Structure 1
Amino acid sequence: MSPSAAVLIPLAAAVLLRPVVGQTQCGGNLYTPGTLNFTLECYNAFQDCVAQFEANASQVDCNDGKGNLFMQQQANLGASPGSQNNDAIIAFQDIRDLCLLSGSTTATWGYSDNQWYWAAAEDACYTNDPTRTDVVKTHPAPFCIQNRDSSLPECYPQPDATPPGGPLKVIKTAKTRNGFKSSARGWNTYGVQALVNGSQVVPSFAGQSGLFYTQKFVETQCGVLARPEFKKAGYDLCSLDSGWQATTAVDQHGRIIYNTTRFNLPELASWLHKRDLKLGVYITPGVPCLAHNQTILGTNIKIKDVLNGNNDQINCDFDFRKDGVQQWHDSVVAQWASWGVDMLKLDFLTPGSPSNGANLACDSSDAVRAYQKAIKKSGRKIRLDISWKLCRNETWLPIWSDLAESMRTDQDLDNYGTNTLMAWQVGQRAIENYRQYIGLQAQRNVPLTIYPDMDALFTVNPEHLAGVNDTIRYTVQNHWLGAGANLIIGGDMEQVDALGLKLTTSKQSIDAADFFAKYPMQPRNPGTGSNAAKQLQAWIGGPSDDHEAYVLIVNYGPDLGNGGFSTKLYGKQKVTVSLKDLGISGSAWTFTDIWSGKSSRVTGSYSAWLTEGESQLLRLKRTH
C-alpha cells in the first residue's frame, strides 16, 4: 500500500461516521488538473498537519517547515471539547480533493458552526516532471461546489425572444413518464417546518420544530384534506418532507427507514388510504453513510464497495457503474411500496440545486434513473417529483422530462427567519423562474411530459400566517393554476379561511386547474405579444380544440429584486391586452373573470386597472 493510500483510508472512515455539510472555496493560482502533480512530500506534510489540528483544537498554524505548505484552523473554542474542531478532517479532505489536487493552490472551508480552515500550497508543491514517482496525481474536482445565489446562466438561460406580433404556439401537456395526466395536489409539511417558531402559530405543531415533527401533526393536518371539498378538488396527497427518516439507523440491508419514535409509516399510509388520501415522502440521492457495512438485499455486495467517495452529507453517494446500486434502489422502493408510499420527492439533484455548501455530485441524474426504474419494477403507481431549481437548458429539459412527473423551477419559496409562510419578493422570483422555464419548454416544440413544481402553495391561510395580503393570495393562486404546477398546500390546514377554501376548492378553481394541466400558460406581453418579463403582464393558456382559453393579466408591482422586469411603477396601473397580443385575433371572445364572475365580449382589446400585486384570471370562450 502506498503512503498516500494508507493515509486516505482513515479519513474516509471518519467521514462515514460523522458526515457534515460545509462550504469550500478554491483560490490562489489556477492550473489544469493532470498537467501537474502534487509532491508526496507536500501531501504527507498536509496529512501530518491535519492530524495535529485534529488532536489539538487550540492549534492555529501548521506548515511543512520549508516554506512550501501553510495551513490554519480557527476552531470554535467556545463549544464543548468534542465539538470545537470536529469538522477538521472533512474540511481538509475537501480542501485537498476539491482544490489543491484539482486546479487551485489555496482553499478555505467554513460554515455556520464557527469553524474555519485554510491551506495554501506554493509552487514547489507541484511538479510537471513526468518521471517523478513521489507524487500524488491531480485530477478534476470529483464533486461540484455551487454558490446558492449563483445565477448559473449555463443552467438557466433566458428563452429566445418571441417577435412582436408573432403567432401563438399553443403549449400542450401529455402523459408523464409514469402515466400521470395532471400535477399533484395536496399538502406538505415543510411550510410549517420552515417557520422560525411554528409552534407559536400552528397549534398542532406545538412542541415540534424543523425536522422534528410527529405523525400526530401529519394526521391532524391531512385529516382536513379528507374533507369532501378538498377531495372533490383533487387534493389527496399527504406529503412528508425531510424529518420522517431515521438518521441513526438503517435496516439490515442498509435501506432508509422511518424514525420509529415519531412515525409508523405503514400505519400512516393505511390511515390515509382509508380516507382516499395518498402518502408522499422526501428523500435525497445516496445511502445513509452509516449503512456502509450492510449487505444489499439479494446480493453479497457490501454498500461500502459501491460508493464513490463523496461522503460530505448524511448520505454517501453511489458509484452508479457498479453492480448492486440498482438492486439497492429496487429494494428500497419495494419496501416503501409495501408500506403504501404513493409519491417520492427526490431533492438536492444536480445539475442545479445550489448546494448550500454540500459537495454534490456534478450530475446526479443517475439517481433519478435508478429511482424511476425501481418505481417501475415495484408495480405500484408512484409519482416522482425532482428538486430543486434543476438545470433547464436544452440538454437537461429533455432528460428530466423523461424521468419524472414534476421538476422544481426555483429555490424554496419559504420566508425563512420569520413566522410567515412567504414574501411577495420571493413570489415574484418564482413567477419569473416559471416564465423562463415555460419559454424554454416552448422552444422544444414537443408536448410537455413533466409538470413544473413552483414550490408550496401558500394561499389558504390569512395574511398573518400567509405573509401576503388577500390581493396577492389571489395572484399567487392564479399563477400556480396557470402554470399547471403542483398544487401542494403549505401552511396550517386547520387555519384555512373562507378565501383559502375558495381559491383551492371552488368549481372555478377546479375547472382552471384541470384546463391548465393540459394547456399551461405562457407570457404574451401587452402591446407586443412577446415573452419578456414585464411588470404589467399577460399570459394565455390554450386555446383548446374546443375554442376555450384562459388569460391572466397582472400588475406585479415594483420589482422587489428578482422579478426580472426591473421597473417600479407604483399604485394602480391600466393593463391593456389585445387579441392580437394574445395571438387569438380574428374572432370575438367572451372574457369572464373566474373569481368575480363578471363577463364582457371582446373583439379588440381588454383593459383593467390593477393595483400592485393584483391580477385577473379570465376564462375565454370564442363566440364565433
Structure 2
Amino acid sequence: MLKKAFIIVALYSIAVTTQAQTKSSFKDWAKTPPMGWNSWDCYGSTVTEAEVKANADYMATNLKKLGWQYVVVDIRWFVENDKAGGYNQTDPRYVMDEYGRFLPYVGRFPSAAGGKGFKALADYIHSKGLKFGIHIMRGIPVEAVKRKLPIKGARGITADQVYSTELQCQWLRDNYTVVADRTGAQEYYDSILELYASWGVDFIKVDDLSRPYHEGEIELIRKAIDKTGRPIVLSTSPGETPIRNAEHIKEHANMWRMVDDVWDIWKDLVHLMNVSKGWYAYSAPGTWPDCDMIPLGRIAIRGERGKDRMTRLTKDEQVSLMTFFTIFRSPLMFGGDLPSNDTFTLSLVSNKDILKMHREGTDVKQLFMENGKMAITSRNSKTGERYLALFNIGDKEMATVTVNLKEFGFDSKYRVKELWTGNYIRGTEANFSQQLAPHSSKVFSISK
C-alpha cells in the first residue's frame, strides 16, 4: 500500500513538473530580444512577395551575422483589393479556405497559388538562414461567421457559434471576438496555428489583443501555439498593455507592446520613454516589453502615415532612439525598407558594441528621468562591464547629465568606451558628466 502511494505521488510530481516545463518552454524561443524586419512602416497593408524577398536578401547579406533574423509580413496579406494609406473597409475581398482561415492573396504573393499559403515564401526565407513571421488580427473572420463555415476539428461547430460582436476591433472590422469559453473556440485557434505551422511560420504578431486586454483569447492562442509543436514566437499588439496584466502576459507571450505605434516624431519617443518606466522590472529572457517597430530609414513607401520619405527624425534623434531601444533591451523590428538604407542608417543597426549591449545587458534600470535629463544603466555579467546611457530629452538647451559611478564600484580610475564612436577615455572622478545637445544621447561601457 505504501509503495502504491509512493508511485502515485511520484507520478503526480512528474506530471506537475512536465506541465510547468511545457508552460514556460516558449520562453526558450526568445532568450534574447528578437531582431528583424516588419513590412508595416514602409508598405502598410500592401506589401508584395518581391518586396519581402528583397528585404530578406538584404538582411541575409548585411545583418544576419549580427543577430537580425526575423522577416515579418504585416497586416492584411489576405485581402485582394486593399489600399495604401489606410484600409479598404468598404468592399474588401478576402481570400480564405473552406474552414474560414485566411490565405495569402496570390496577386501579391504568387507563390501562394494552388492553396500553398506562405509555405514557399517561408522556405525561401529559411534558405537564407532567416526566420519567417506573419501578422494576424485577434478573432474570427466576419465573413466566416456570415457564411457559417465549419471550424476544423470542432466536430460540427461553425464560426457563428463561437463569436461575439462585443469588443470587436474598432479600427479594423475584419474579425469578430472569439468567446473563449465557447465550445469550438480553442479549436478555431488550434486550426489557424496548425495551418501557420504547416507553412513554416516562426513568429506571429497578433493585433488588437492588448487594449483592452483580452485575457481569454491570449490564453487560447498560447495553447494553440504550444499544440503545434513548432517554436513560434508570440508578439502581442498594440499598446498600451495594462501594467496590471504584466504577470499574465509574461506567462503567455514572448513580447508585448507598451504603447501605440511609434512613428518618426520625437514626441512619440518621449512618450515611450515615460511609459516604459513601469516595465523595467518585467524584462527577462523569453519575455520582453516591446518599444514597437523602428521608424528609421525609408518609410511610408505605401504606408499608413504620410508620404514616401526618409525618416523625419534628426540624426541625433535617430541615435537616441536606437540607444534607448537597445539599452532597454526591446525587441528590434526595423520598419524601413532595408534595401533603401543609406550608410548612416546601416550604421545604426550594425554597430557591434551596441548590439552586444542589447544582447548581453542585464539588470536594466532607469536611474532618473527629470528636468529633461535621463540616465539608464545595465551590466554585462559575462565581462563585468557597466553600460550607461545618458539622454537630453529637453527641446531647447544644452544639458549636463551627471551620474555618480561610486554606487557601481567606480570611484577613481576606470576605463570608458563611447559605444557609437568607439572612442576611449580615462575616468578619474566618481561623478561622470556629459554635455548633451537637445534630443541627443551618448552610451558608454565602463570597466576597471
**Length-normalised TM-score, structure 1:** 0.59
Q: Is the 8 A contact 1:409 1:453 kept in 2?
A: yes
Q: Give runs of aligned pairs for residues 510-521 of structure 1, distance below 5 A.
A: 510-516=355-361, 519=362, 521=364
Q: Following superposition, which runs of at least 4 residues in structure 1 exceed 6 angstroms of deviation?
A: none
Shift of 1:213: 2.6
Query: Distance between the aligned counterparts of 2:95 and 2:418, measured in 1?
Result: 54
Residue 616 of structure 1 and its aligned partner are, at CA, apart by 0.8
What are the superposed Cα offsets for residues 191-244 of structure 1, whole Å, 9 maximum, x if unpaired?
A: 113xxxxxxxxxxxxxxxx422311121122221111x3011111111111121
1:520 positional shift: 5.4
Partner of 2:10: none
The residue aligned with 2:60 is 226
* Correspondence 1:4-23 to 2 at 5 A: none
Q: Match of 2:376, as an amino acid?
A: W
- Matching of residues 444-593 of structure 1 within 5 Å: 449-460=286-297, 465-516=310-361, 519=362, 521-525=364-368, 532-542=369-379, 544=381, 546-558=383-395, 570-580=396-406, 583-584=408-409, 588-593=413-418
Letter in 1 for 2:345: G
Q: Give the 3 Å change call, closer, same or farther, for CA 213–471 of structure 1 in structure 2.
A: same
The residue type equivalent to 1:260 in the other structure is V
CA distance in 1, matches of 2:332, 2:94: 33
Closer, same or farther: CA 183–371 of 1 in aligned 2, 3 Å: same
* Structure 2 partner of 1:356: none
Asked if structure 2 preserves the Cα contact closer than 8 Å seen for 1:249 and 1:257, the reply is yes
Listed one character per residue, the Cα deviations across residues 8-47 of structure 1 (whole Å, up to 9, x for unaligned) are xxxxxxxxxxxxxxxxxxxxxxxxxxxxxxxxxxxxxxxx
User: Which of 162, 173, 177 does residue 306 from structure 1 map onto?
Assistant: 162
Task: Call closer, same or farther: CA 1:259–1:533 in 2, change over 3 Å.
Answer: farther
Offset from partner CA, 1:92-121 (integer Å, 9 cap, x none): xxxxxxxxxxxxxxxxxxxxxxxxxxxxxx
- Which of 438, 443, 447 is 1:612 aligned to? 438
Whether the 8 Å CA contact 2:357–2:380 is kept in 1: the answer is: no
Equivalent residue number for residue 601 of structure 1? 427
For residue 296 of structure 1, report the CA deviation from its aligned partner. 1.2
Give me the whole-angstrom Cα distance separating, in 2, the residues matched to 1:423 and 1:481: 19
Larger helix share, 1 or 2 = 2
Contact 1:461–1:497 (Cα < 8 Å) also in 2:
no
Maintained 8 Å contact 1:402/1:449 = no
Contact 1:255–1:332 (8 Å) recurs in 2: yes
> 1:460–1:496: 8 Å Cα contact kept in structure 2?
yes
Give CA-to-partner distance per residue, 1:496-542, whole Å, 9 cap, x none.
122222221232122122123xx1532113xxxxxx44411211112
In the TM superposition, residue 490 of structure 1 has moved relative to its aligned partner by 0.9
Give the 3-state SS of the residue equivalent to 2:432 in structure 1: strand
Aligned to 1:398: 247
Match in the other structure for 1:328: 188
Alignment match, 1:412: 261
Instruction: Give the alignment partner of residue 187 of structure 1, picking from 37, 46, 55.
Output: 37
Measured after TM superposition, the shift of residue 584 of structure 1 is: 4.4
Match of 1:138 in 2: none
Is the 8 Å Cα contact of residues 482 and 513 (structure 1) preserved in structure 2? yes
The answer to whether the Cα contact below 8 Å between 1:349 and 1:390 also exists between their aligned partners in 2 is no
1:290-317 deviation per Cα after TM superposition (whole angstroms, max 9, x unaligned): 1121111122111111223436622011
Counterpart for residue 256 of structure 1: 102
- Supply the distance in 1 between the matched residues of 2:430 and 2:191 (Cα, whole angstroms): 60
Does the Cα contact within 8 Å between 2:235 and 2:254 map onto a contact in 1?
Answer: yes
Q: 2:71: which partner in 1?
A: 238
Deviation string, structure 1 residues 397-425 (Cα, Å, up to 9, x no partner): 000111111110111012xxxxxxx0112
Match of 1:73 in 2: none
Separation in structure 1 between the aligned mates of residue 428 and residue 345 of structure 2, nearest angstrom: 30
Q: Does 1:290 pair with 2:132?
A: no
Partner of 1:425: 267
Quick one: distance in 2 between partners of 1:391 and 1:319? Answer: 20
Please name the residue that 1:272 is paired with. Answer: 125
Distance 2:241 2:349 in 1: 30
Letter in structure 2 aligned against 1:410: V
Rg larger in structure = 1
Once the two structures are overlaid, the 10-residue window that deviates more, 280-289 or 495-504, is 495-504
Is the counterpart of residue 318 in structure 1 residue 178 in structure 2? yes
Number of matched pairs: 389
1:254 alignment partner AA: G
Residue identity opposite 2:150 in structure 1: T
**Residue type of the partner of 1:554?**
F
Q: 1:230 to 1:454 in 2, by over 3 A?
A: same
Secondary structure of the corresponding residue to residue 376 of structure 1? helix
- Tell me if structure 2 keeps the 8 A contact 1:459–1:477: no
1:493 CA drift (Å): 1.0
Cα distance in 2 for residues equivalent to 1:239 and 1:434? 24
Q: CA contact under 8 A between 1:255 and 1:328: conserved in structure 2?
A: no
- Are the equivalent residues in 1 in contact too, given 2:415–2:424 (CA < 8 A)? no
Q: Is the CA contact (8 Å cut-off) linking 2:42 and 2:298 kept in structure 1?
A: no
- Where structure 1 has 5 or more consecutive residues not aligned to the other structure, the ranges are 1-173, 194-209, 354-361, 415-421, 526-531, 559-569
The correspondence for 2:50, drawn from 206, 211, 216, is: 216
* Alpha-carbon distance in structure 2 between the residues aligned to 1:593 and 1:376: 43
For structure 2, list consecutive stretches of 5 or more residues without a partner in the other structure: 1-23, 80-92, 113-117, 300-307
Change (3 A) 1:249 1:501: closer
CA contact (8 A) 1:188 1:488 kept: yes
> Could you say which residue in structure 1 is the equivalent of 2:218?
368
Identity %: 22
Answer yes or no: is the 8 Å Cα contact 1:282–1:345 preserved in 2. yes
**Aligned residues of 1:423 and 1:467 also touching (Cα < 8 A):** yes
Deviates more, 1:453-462 or 1:376-385: 453-462
CA contact (8 A) 1:484 1:520 kept: no
